[in-house]
Amino acid sequence: MALTGAGISVPSGIPDFRTPGTGLWENVDPMEVAHIDAFHADPARFWSFYRPRFAELRSKAPNRAHAALAELERRGLIQAVITQNIDRLHRAAGSKRVIEVHGSIETSSCTSCEASFSMASLDGLFGDDGVAECSACCGKVKPDVVLFGEFLPEAAMEEATALCEAADLVICVGSSLEVYPVAGLPSAALNRGARLAIITQGLTPYDPDATVKLEGDVIEELEAVLAELPASSASQPSL
């Protein structure tokens, strides 16, 4: 299994949340714009923050660290990627089984009738007030990303937990592993005897439990790992 966070998308030009100078929350209080209550109370303000952010995310391309994880899946060496990122770059890089536990910018949904809208059709839903309105029922349309104050998608978390419990190894990339419930996934794996490899700059609460901790650039570290592994799981020597 691989478990990824904001750090894997930094080389794609997507700032992580709290890096001084570039972090998304440097100049804005997340509770004022990214909370579900803020969305309902002032959707125009919500969208004035998110609309340009989504437009920027849509312009980003996956980097070689995303490609390395897609390649590990192609070789049969990892089963899936669990990600906290909403940028859909794992899929763009070719990963097939991606569990987006914080949702994705790929779709948005009506909060009244649950109609679903693609990223491409979202732009056409905005009125002069800067709020995205459902074309079927005029309800408020919300991106399918998990906001503060919302629960994580239950099915995605169940799938992620089951995969971690069955894994031999969980490779955690670019996540500080501090935000629950995702931060509980490495312990679910450890409790079932899996090993942890952490590729993240800075400390994580799981560093003492990790078999391997790498602090370098995510692209360099993942490509170095890839270079040492067999081209397909079928050619792995039997031990």
Active centre residues (catalytic): 102
Query: 110: part of which helix (H) or strand (E)?
Result: strand 103-110
Out of 134, 145, 171, 194, which residue is the one contacting Zn ion (CB under 5 A)?
Answer: 134
Q: By CB under 5 A, which span of 24-32, 54-62, 74-82, 110-118 interacts with Zn ion?
A: 110-118
Nearest approach in angstroms of CB 142 to Zn ion is 11
Q: By CB under 5 A, which span of 20-28, 132-140, 164-172, 188-196 interacts with Zn ion?
A: 132-140
Nearest approach in angstroms of CB 139 to Zn ion is 4
125 near Zn ion, rule: CB under 5 A: no
Q: CA 153 to CA 57: how far, in whole Å?
A: 22
- Binding-site size, Zn ion (CB under 5 A): 8
Please tell me the total number of residues recorded for the chain in this structure: 239
Here's the x/- map for Zn ion, 32-61, by CB under 5 A: it reads as: ------------------------------
235 near Zn ion, rule: CB under 5 A: no
Contact between 28 and 45 (Cβ < 8 Å): no
DSSP-derived 3-state class of residue 148: strand
Q: CA 163 to CA 28: how far, in whole Å?
A: 35
Out of 22, 48, 112, 236, which residue is the one contacting Zn ion (CB under 5 A)?
Answer: 112
Q: CA 132 to CA 109: how far, in whole Å?
A: 10
What are the structure tokens assigned to 83, written together?
Answer: 């990600």
153 near Zn ion, rule: CB under 5 A: no
137 near Zn ion, rule: CB under 5 A: yes
Output 136 or 212, the one with its CB closest to Zn ion: 136
Dihedral-angle region of residue 220 (phi above 0 means left; psi in -120 to 50 means alpha; beta otherwise): alpha
Residues 6+ positions from 202 with CB-CB distance below 8 Å: 176, 215
Contact between 186 and 192 (Cβ < 8 Å): no
131 near Zn ion, rule: CB under 5 A: no
Q: Binding residues for Zn ion, per CB under 5 A?
A: 110, 112-113, 115, 134, 136-137, 139
